Structures are given as C-alpha cells and as structure tokens.
Structure 1
Amino acid sequence: MPGPAVAASSRWTDEEGVREPGGFVHAWRCGTNQTLCGVPLHKAGLEWFPHVLWIDARWPADTTGERLVLCHRCAAAVGDRPERRRWTRHRPRP
C-alpha cells in the first residue's frame, strides 16, 4: 500500500485538466468514509483525490498558486513528525 491519499475542502484544475486539491487538506485511506483524524468526508463536504498521495501534498509546487493547509492531526497520524508522539483517535468510554 503506497500510503494515504488526500481529501480536501476545495479543488482546482491544472493545465492538463487533472483535478488537484486545494484549501484545507486531510489524509484519507481509500475505501474509508473518513479522514485519519476522524472527519467524515461527506458531512464535511470534502472531495477525495485518490490520485494524490499525502506525501505529495506536503510539498506542493510553488507554480500552482494554490495554498494548501495541512491538517496537523492527520500529519501526526501519518507520522510526519517523528520527533513528536503520534496522534490516534480514541473513542470515549461508555
């Protein structure tokens, strides 16, 4: 498995007609209905981009003109910050 893909709050289209993420970006595993930090895709109005990996969204090209804001909880869940503790979502006790 290559890693999580991207779900984002907005999109734009590049010169070749490919949809690209924009706005607030979350990590998302294909086949699930929520991001790694627990945000439901449909209820939050997020679009999914299975062709864009999370690692590619971390370093967007400066030529796009789009500013990406990465979710800090998703970044922690993926393990982008090795010096810090990984974030996991816990269900509340019954």
Structure 2
Amino acid sequence: MRKRVTGAAVAATGTWTDPDGVRMPAGEVHAWERGTNSTVCGLQLSRQGLVRFPHVTWADAQPATGRDADAVSSVCRRCSAGTGARRDERPWRRVDPRP
C-alpha cells in the first residue's frame, strides 16, 4: 500500500516567466516529490522531458485555486489522486447504518 504524498512540488511540460522574473509551470503539471526522479504517477522526469519546479507547491499549481497556475492547461489525474484529491470534495459519511 502506497502512502499519501503530502509535500509535493510540481513538474511540468513547459515553463513561463512571470512579471517578477520567476519561472512558473506551464502545460501539463504533475506532482513530484523532492529528491526523486519520478512523479507521483510514475513518470520518469528525464525521459518525459519534464521540468522541475521545487519552489512551486502542488496546491499552488491547481488551475481552480492556485496562484501559480496561469499557464497550466491540464493537471495529471493520477497525480491528483496520489496527493489525496477527491472527485466530489465531500468526505464520505454513513447516515443510517445497518444493524
């Protein structure tokens, strides 16, 4: 059983520079654990040509809520699942359990 990834950074297919001169992710983004050469979904960074962004957290690269996601076109679904994202964002709860 795999553990849930909590402190993931971002690896992306492209890059762009914001007005302050800082590199930011663009294109498709993946969750990446610092110190490894692979994403959470299992892609090898060097073989896929992904660029690392250790200064950008996974939460900041989400297009819906992230501040560094201006040029992000898509988010890897397998990486999202590996970092704990849920489809409906509501926790499961049993209302009327059977005896």
TM-score (norm 2): 0.74
Is there any run of 5+ residues in structure 2 with no aligned partner, and where? 1-5, 90-99
**What do residues 31-89 of structure 1 show as CA deviations (whole Å, max 9, x unaligned)?**
0000000000000000000000001111244994x2331000000000011769xxxxx
After superposition, the Cα gap between the structure-2 partners of 1:14 and 1:69, relative to the gap in structure 1 and judged at 3 Å, is same
| Aligned position for 1:89 | none
Q: RMSD between aligned alpha carbons?
A: 2.3
After superposition, the Cα gap between the structure-2 partners of 1:50 and 1:63, relative to the gap in structure 1 and judged at 3 Å, is closer
TM-score (norm 1): 0.78
Is there any run of 5+ residues in structure 1 with no aligned partner, and where? 85-94
SS at match of 2:20: coil
Q: Which ranges of 4 or more aligned residues in structure 1 deviate by more than 3 Å?
A: 60-64
Structure 1: how far apart are the matches of 2:69 and 2:49? 26
